Structure 1
């Protein structure tokens, strides 16, 4: 490993949506294998947050990037894809919640009106 990669530059120490959402896939793609721990059930609920927080540092240490700009360009694609996936995930969860609240209200209302007759 070259000298300049031993110290992680401050400008890359930030959240990585790609590492958070695509954790183990992102890890393989970036030669960082700690995200494979996300394959452990229950433990993964905590570890995904570590992947998002430390992902850039892990990728920098394992990668062979010539400079920070090249690294950031690669991670920008992962970040964009991860953020889009996160928004889709949250939207689907919100739709499910709304759906079940509406169905629950309809069932509760039907049961309640049946008791009053």
Structure 2
């Protein structure tokens, strides 16, 4: 169940490098060029943070060789973060749609 800790460390590093900087930049005020509405940026950034939270929740207990119950609890917490990310992405999509309809008038 634990696997090789090096693989978990690589996955954690990749998630940190790929998911965290855009989320922090968006929370600091940067708007990606492809995002139509500024209103969609904040929930989108928080969704990225929620998705990123899965990486340490899944990697760290396995790297430390935690008990199976701890690993299962962390996976369950990761599922909660994933559900929150889906809700935030839906909110971002609705905010972007509202931004497109109000800008078209």
Please say which structure displays the higher CA radius of gyration. 1
- Higher normalized contact order (CA 8 Å, seq sep 6+, divided by chain length): 2
